[in-house]
């Protein structure tokens, strides 16, 4: 494992991630990817530690990916699902977290439909003076740092499988297309991709990409020269793009009727082979999943290994989450 000093106790956002931290995650994830290709895919790194997956919102890949990542590191895992928990009897989120703390949990992986819940639990753990780390697995429309990092890893390993590093993205054009307004994945990716020196082009109908959106990112914590562009048509974002990231229409987070019809949306913003002709010839397409086939991406394109990195993203997710658990978990040994 590369020797890196890791000072971050909780992983809640990518807004203040440094280049050193990004590279540490990429290199460590690459080492774990190698472990995962062996016959014995397990390492004893987190033996004796307890990782609790506290998912207050539905999830398929993120929850399973954190679970298998923790197991590959030999941690003991606890899985919580709100619908079958004491929350149905009125228990608060903080009391649920404290219950898991009392059982000896070392790392809490938290997903919640409200922005800020993982931060609030992290603050409470710090206030109590316990060594528990919190990892944000997606909070409302705020952030999804592990998804941003696995997307980064997927792209960087494609560019240099032997040595994925953030500088590989310098000058690359990356289009993010779809329901950006409601997307925590987009927000985390904007932090990481602009930090890498890539040009990030957002494209969506105005109802899903308000003008003021860019202001959120203009407060530049790390004084990097971030390159972020907004478009209300898809063509300028796709022109000469190296990578295209499509996003699901997150209807569960929409409070108003924001689109005339799904058919029209697909026609204008759905990613198809035809639209990809505008991009660089070897363009690749990403999607965090779950996918609504035929809406944000055409079904045939999603399954086409020449263009689609969607399965690679899921595979990368395990190695990247192993790296994150390793960094925050090994501080406790
Ligand atoms: C995303 C999420 O939940 O934020 N999915 C994921 O974690 N892979 C995106 C989405 O729900 O569309």
Centroid of ligand 1 to alpha carbon of 110 (angstroms): 14
Centroid of ligand 1 to alpha carbon of 333 (angstroms): 32
- Domains for the chain: give ranges and CATH numbers: 19-143+316-330 (3.40.50.1370), 145-313 (3.40.50.1370)
- Kindly indicate the confidence band of residue 252, based on its pLDDT and cuts at 50, 70 and 90: confident
Q: Is the pLDDT of residue 3 over 60?
A: no
Per-residue pLDDT tens digits for 295-313:
999 999 999 999 999 999 9
Centroid of ligand 1 to alpha carbon of 64 (angstroms): 13
Centroid of ligand 1 to alpha carbon of 89 (angstroms): 27
Output the average pLDDT for the chain. 93
Can you give the length of the chain in residues? Answer: 333
Contact 80, 96 (CB under 8 A): yes
- The residue whose CA is least distant from atom 7 of ligand 1 is 62
- Kindly indicate the confidence band of residue 221, based on its pLDDT and cuts at 50, 70 and 90: low
E-assigned strand segments in the chain? 50-55, 76-81, 107-112, 133-139, 173-177, 199-203, 227-231, 243-246, 284-286
Q: Is the pLDDT of residue 2 over 60?
A: no
Which region, left, alpha or beta, applies to residue 212 given φ > 0 means left and ψ of -120 to 50 means alpha? alpha
What residues contact 134, with CB distance under 8 A and at least 6 apart? 10, 11, 12, 107, 108, 110, 118, 119, 121, 122, 125
The pLDDT, as a whole number, for residue 32 is 98
Q: Is the pLDDT of residue 333 over 50?
A: no
Determine the residue of 63, 137, 144 to mutate for testing ligand 1's pocket, defined as the one with the most ligand atoms within 8 A of the Cβ atom.
Answer: 144
Centroid of ligand 1 to alpha carbon of 127 (angstroms): 30
The pLDDT, as a whole number, for residue 195 is 95
Pairing of strands 76-81, 284-286: unpaired
Centroid of ligand 1 to alpha carbon of 320 (angstroms): 16
Q: Rounded to an integer, what distance in angstroms lies between the CA atom of residue 333 and that of residue 322? A: 16
The pLDDT, as a whole number, for residue 163 is 97
- Kindly indicate the confidence band of residue 223, based on its pLDDT and cuts at 50, 70 and 90: low
DSSP 331: T
Rounded to an integer, what is the distance from CA 35 to the centroid of its chain? 22
The pLDDT, as a whole number, for residue 19 is 94
Biggest alpha carbon–alpha carbon distance for the chain: 56
Pairing of strands 107-112, 133-139: parallel
In short, whether 288's Cβ falls inside 6 Å of ligand 1 is yes
Centroid of ligand 1 to alpha carbon of 91 (angstroms): 26
- Nearest CA-CA partner of 17 in 222, 304, 229: 222
- Kindly indicate the confidence band of residue 250, based on its pLDDT and cuts at 50, 70 and 90: confident
The pLDDT, as a whole number, for residue 305 is 96
In short, whether 184's Cβ falls inside 6 Å of ligand 1 is yes
In short, whether 61's Cβ falls inside 6 Å of ligand 1 is yes
In short, whether 250's Cβ falls inside 6 Å of ligand 1 is yes
Higher-confidence position of 153 and 332: 153
- Kindly indicate the confidence band of residue 177, based on its pLDDT and cuts at 50, 70 and 90: very high
Region 53-65 average pLDDT:
94
- Nearest CA-CA partner of 171 in 200, 190, 192, 197: 197
Q: Rounded to an integer, what distance in angstroms lies between the CA atom of residue 207 and that of residue 58? A: 25
Q: Rounded to an integer, what distance in angstroms lies between the CA atom of residue 62 and that of residue 127? A: 28
Contact 134, 118 (CB under 8 A): yes
In short, whether 77's Cβ falls inside 6 Å of ligand 1 is no
In short, whether 201's Cβ falls inside 6 Å of ligand 1 is no
């Amino acid at each position: 494992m590369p020797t890196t000093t890791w000072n971050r106790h909780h992983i809640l956002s990518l807004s203040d991630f440094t280049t050193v931290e990004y590279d540490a995650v990429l290199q460590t994830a690459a080492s774990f990817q190698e472990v995962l290709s062996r016959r014995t895919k397990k390492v004893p790194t987190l033996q004796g530690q307890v990782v609790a997956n506290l998912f207050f919102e539905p999830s398929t890949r993120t929850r399973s990916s954190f679970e298998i990542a923790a197991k590959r590191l030999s941690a003991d895992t606890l899985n919580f699902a709100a619908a079958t928990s004491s929350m149905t009897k009125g228990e608060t989120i903080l009391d649920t977290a404290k219950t898991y703390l009392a059982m000896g949990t070392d790392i809490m992986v938290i997903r919640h439909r409200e922005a800020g819940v993982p931060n609030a639990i992290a603050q409470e753990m710090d206030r109590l003076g316990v060594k528990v780390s919190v990892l944000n697995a997606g909070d409302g429309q705020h952030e999804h740092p592990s998804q941003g990092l696995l997307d980064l890893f997927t792209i960087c390993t494609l560019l240099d499988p032997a040595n994925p590093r953030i500088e590989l993205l310098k000058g690359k054009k990356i289009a993010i297309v779809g329901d950006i307004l409601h997307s925590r994945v987009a927000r985390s990716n904007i932090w990481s991709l602009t930090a890498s020196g890539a040009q990030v082009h957002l494209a969506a109908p105005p109802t899903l990409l308000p003008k003021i959106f860019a202001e959120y990112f203009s407060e530049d914590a790390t004084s990097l020269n971030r390159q972020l562009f907004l478009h209300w048509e898809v063509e300028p974002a796709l022109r000469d793009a190296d990578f295209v990231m499509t996003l699901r229409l997150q209807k569960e987070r929409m409070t108003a009727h924001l689109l005339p019809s799904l058919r029209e949306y697909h026609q204008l913003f759905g990613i198809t082979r035809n639209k990809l002709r505008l991009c660089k010839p070897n363009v690749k397409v990403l999607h965090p999943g779950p996918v609504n086939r035929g809406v944000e991406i055409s079904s045939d394109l999603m399954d086409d290994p020449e263009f689609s990195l969607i399965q690679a993203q899921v595979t990368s997710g395990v190695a990247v989450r192993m790296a994150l658990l390793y960094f925050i978990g090994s501080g406790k040994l």
